[in-house]
């Protein structure tokens, strides 16, 4: 597949239209004064699909099937934004999976490049791809064939890369996989500690002791299986063990592990990682899925600065700190992926109500766990809160103006569960009194 920096004359108007859509979506994304409406997102989506149809007509000649130019780059941006908008309004349709697929592809690329991973890294990705395939198969009839074709092509690419990664693990005996998984985890812990501007040597010493313990289980330099045989994959596991030791020694011996030329990138990645870590804690209250677009774009820009997998300085040299930067880059991608996966199928307009119901449910479950009510008066605050939320419904639906946002089923189920918990607590109290 070749990428052309020039855009053919017959695709110029398509490019202009896609840029216009991207600009309007970006402006809408930044507007915090109102909630997104499903109808608005669908309108942008239909306009984009119409441009895709035009591209397909222009490129129907087999010689143009692999054509890639700026039109495709902008189209990718638009679909990423649209995908995040669909997530924000609570839709879990095929278009909403696009952003996840982009992030999955980046994660797989980095795992393949690092060659340091275990089944624990691949299994969640495989499960997510199966989930996306199920969504796409379900929506194949109702969604545009152009989008379905595009998403299935991206799924195929991800599945092919995943199969390659699984194949490379197949050379390692099952007896060595637990040790491999533990060493992969230790390596990431070492990098997590070492990537901080200031870190405690004592934290690294704990991991160093664990490495020595793992090393002590070897016999004549080999890890043995329970039956005393030497399982396949010794080179991989021993190589990873030595790399962990080298990383530890580097971090313990040196204070400044990132070269001055890479400090700006290091600071950007550190800031993004801290922001994403904060979102992991507060996303149910503060995250608008479209906010992730900025993180994705910034990471992509940083990722694309690498030459043959490494960051270079202005003279073309390879400064120190490559491992730390790659760890931070991959960690940011992983955090975005987790935020996308944990996104609830509820429109942002209904998130405040969902958070209130979730809090009431948590409190009621805690009361039940602690032994129940001592008097009916303790139940009044919960009943009043549930009644006020119930009164927000019109004909059994939570309305925002004249629209019915996504997530009605989930909220109604949550409300019903809270009422049931109140009833159960009252019945238990009355039985105890009798």
DSSP states of 318-330: --S-HHHHHHHHH
Q: What pLDDT, on the 0 to 100 scale, is given for residue 66? A: 64
Q: Between the ranges 18-27, 232-241, 271-280, 359-368, where is the mean pLDDT highest?
A: 18-27
Instruction: Let me know: does 350 contact 36? Beta carbons within 8 Å.
Output: no
**% of the chain with per-residue pLDDT over 90:** 33
Q: Are 204 and 248 in contact (CB under 8 A)?
A: yes
Q: What is the mean pLDDT of residues 325-332?
A: 90
Token pair of 311 as six digits: 């960051």
Asked if residues 368 and 108 have their Cβ atoms less than 8 Å apart, the reply is no
Angle at the Cα of 140 (from 135 to 144), degrees rounded to 5? 120
Instruction: Return phi, psi of residue 287, to 5°.
Output: -80, 130
What value, to the nearest 5°, has the Cα angle with vertex 133 and ends 404 and 121? 110
How much is the pLDDT for 286?
Answer: 65
Q: Is 90 exceeded by the pLDDT of residue 155?
A: yes
C-alpha count within 13 angstroms, C-beta hemisphere, residue 169: 24
Query: What is the value of pTM for the model shown?
Result: 0.78
Question: Which pLDDT tens digit goes with each residue over 211-225?
Answer: 999 988 888 888 888
353 within 8 A of 415, measured Cβ to Cβ: no
pLDDT at 362 over 60: yes
CB neighbours of residue 256 within 10 Å: 9
Chain mean pLDDT for the chain: 87
Higher pLDDT, 79 or 374: 79
Average pLDDT over residues 387-398: 88
Measured CA to CA, the distance from residue 354 to residue 361 in angstroms comes to 10
Tell me the pLDDT band of 426, cut-offs 50, 70 and 90.
confident
Q: Which tokens hold the place of 7? A: 């855009």
pLDDT of the residue at 23: 94
**Phi, psi for residue 206 in degrees, rounded to 5:** -60, -45
Grade residue 131 by pLDDT with cuts at 50, 70 and 90.
very high
């Amino acid at each position: 597949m070749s990428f052309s920096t020039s855009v053919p004359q017959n695709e110029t108007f398509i490019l202009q239209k896609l840029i216009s859509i991207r600009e309007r979506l970006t402006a809408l994304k930044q507007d915090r004064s109102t909630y997104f409406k499903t109808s608005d997102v669908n309108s942008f989506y239909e306009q984009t699909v119409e441009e895709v149809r035009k591209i397909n007509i222009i490129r129907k000649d087999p010689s143009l099937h692999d054509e890639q130019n700026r039109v495709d780059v902008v189209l990718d941006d638009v679909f990423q934004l649209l995908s995040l908008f669909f997530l924000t309004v609570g839709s879990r349709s095929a278009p909403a999976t696009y952003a996840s697929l982009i992030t999955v592809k980046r994660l797989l690329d980095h795992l393949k490049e690092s060659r340091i991973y275990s089944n624990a890294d691949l299994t969640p990705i495989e499960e997510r791809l199966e989930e996306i395939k199920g969504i796409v198969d379900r929506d194949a009839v109702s969604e545009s064939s152009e989008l379905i074709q595009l998403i299935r092509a991206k799924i195929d690419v991800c599945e092919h890369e995943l199969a390659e990664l699984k194949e490379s693990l197949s050379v390692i005996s099952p007896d060595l996989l637990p040790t491999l998984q533990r060493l992969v985890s230790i390596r990431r812990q070492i990098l997590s500690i070492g990537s901080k501007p200031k870190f405690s040597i004592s934290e690294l010493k704990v991991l160093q002791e664990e490495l020595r313990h793992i090393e002590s289980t070897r016999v004549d330099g080999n890890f043995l299986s329970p039956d005393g045989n030497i399982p396949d994959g010794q080179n991989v596991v021993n190589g990873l063990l030595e790399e962990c030791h080298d990383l530890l020694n580097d971090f313990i011996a040196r204070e400044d592990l990132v070269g001055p030329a890479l400090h700006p990138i290091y600071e950007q990645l550190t800031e993004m990682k801290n922001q994403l870590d904060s979102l992991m804690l507060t996303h149910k209250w503060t995250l608008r899925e479209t906010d992730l677009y900025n993180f994705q774009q910034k990471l992509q820009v940083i990722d694309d600065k690498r030459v043959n997998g490494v960051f270079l300085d202005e003279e073309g040299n390879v400064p120190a700190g490559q491992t730390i930067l790659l760890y931070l880059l991959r960690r940011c991608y992983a955090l975005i992926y987790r935020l996308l996966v944990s996104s609830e199928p509820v429109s942002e307009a209904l998130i405040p109500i969902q958070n209130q119901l979730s809090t009431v449910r948590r409190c009621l479950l805690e009361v039940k766990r602690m032994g129940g009510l001592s008097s009916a008066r303790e139940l009044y605050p919960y009943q009043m809160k549930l009644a006020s939320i119930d009164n927000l419904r019109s004909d059994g639906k939570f309305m925002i103006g004249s629209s019915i946002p996504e997530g009605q089923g989930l909220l109604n189920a949550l409300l019903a569960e809270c009422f049931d918990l109140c009833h159960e607590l009252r019945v238990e109290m009355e039985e105890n009194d009798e």
